[in-house]
Amino acid sequence: MATKQPGVEPDQTPESLDECRRCALWKDATQAVPGAGPRHAPMMIVGEQPGDQEDLQGEPFVGPAGAMLDRALVEAGVARQEVYVTNAVKHFKWEPRGKRRMHKTPAQREIDACRYWLEQETGDVGPKVIVALGATALKSVLRNSKATLQATMGHAVEHEGHAIVATYHPSFALRAPDPETRERVYKAIVDALREAHRLVSRHHKAR
């Protein structure tokens, strides 16, 4: 039988993120990072997890990836203030590399533990379209640990009353080894945001 990890309560139902002990990531994070945006935004953007700057500032998408997302939103004709932005995992998972804290991909058990919060946000906001940035976000949104970007990108997927649009996370473009790959990934992000915007507009017209 698996030994329970100290300080971890996967069945906990906390009322606030600061109280959350559903996985162990809270131990090494500065703080939990909640989502931000209008209560009833028609579009929700879900990333993987807070990065170094998000962990320090307590707000989502305020680091380099956030700056690229902002640029892509402008190019796609989407107003950031009309979008709810959040992450599949609310605490920064990292490993030391010299004096820097380097991103480490969340494990499936951490994604599963934090879905408690994403489902609350989705219920409160009620978006018509959810943009999943990266594989971790897609797995969480679809509640499917085997979901892949390759199988989902390029077309919207209906899931529990929401249209799901999947694309790369901006950090993937930032880590690209050459300008051509970076531009290709960035263009895919812009295209996905345009598609999400089109789906939102179509929903409004159908009302």
Write the pLDDT tens digit of every residue in 23-38: 999 999 999 999 999 9
Q: Is residue 3 part of a domain?
A: no
Residue 184, token pair as written in the block: 């290709």
In the prediction, which pLDDT does 20 show?
97
Report the number of distinct structural domains present in the chain: 1
- Provide Rg for the chain, Cα atoms: 17
Query: Within a domain: residue 96?
Result: yes
Q: Residue 10's pLDDT is what?
A: 87
Residue position matching structure tokens 């473009």: 173
| % residues pLDDT > 70 (the chain) | 95
The reply to whether 19 falls in a domain is no
Q: Does the residue 194 lie in any domain?
A: yes
Name the pLDDT band for 1 (thresholds 50, 70, 90).
very low
Domain assignment of residue 9, yes or no? no
Q: Please report the pLDDT score of residue 207 as a whole number.
A: 60
pTM for the structure as a whole:
0.94
CA distance 122 to 117: 9
Contact present, 122 and 44 (Cβ < 8 Å): yes
Is residue 110 within 8 Å of residue 144, measured between CB atoms?
Answer: no
* pLDDT attached to residue 63: 95
Q: Is residue 16 part of a domain?
A: no
> Is residue 132 situated within a structural domain?
yes
Residue partners of 127: CB distance under 8 A and separation at least 6: 41, 42, 43, 44, 84, 162
Q: Which CATH number do you get for residue 174?
A: 3.40.470.10
In a domain, 1, yes or no: no
Q: What is the mean pLDDT of residues 152-174?
A: 96
What tokens does 122 get?
A: 């989705």
User: Cα dihedral angle (105, 75, 80, 161), rounded to 10 degrees?
Assistant: -70
Q: Which pLDDT band holds residue 203 (cuts at 50, 70, 90)?
A: confident
- Is the Cα torsion angle 74, 76, 81, 85 positive or negative in sign? negative
> CA–CA separation, 188 vs 199, rounded Å?
17
Provide the pLDDT confidence category of residue 198 given band limits of 50, 70 and 90: very high
Measured CA to CA, the distance from residue 43 to residue 201 in angstroms comes to 10
Tell me what the mean pLDDT of segment 85-102 comes to.
96
Give the CA dihedral 191, 70, 61, 99, nearest 10 degrees.
Answer: 100
| Domain membership of residue 108 as a residue range | 25-206
pLDDT tens digit string along 38-85?
999 999 999 999 999 999 999 999 999 999 999 999 999 999 999 999
* Pairwise CA distance, residues 131 & 114, whole Å: 18
What's the CA gap between 68 and 145, in Å, rounded? 27
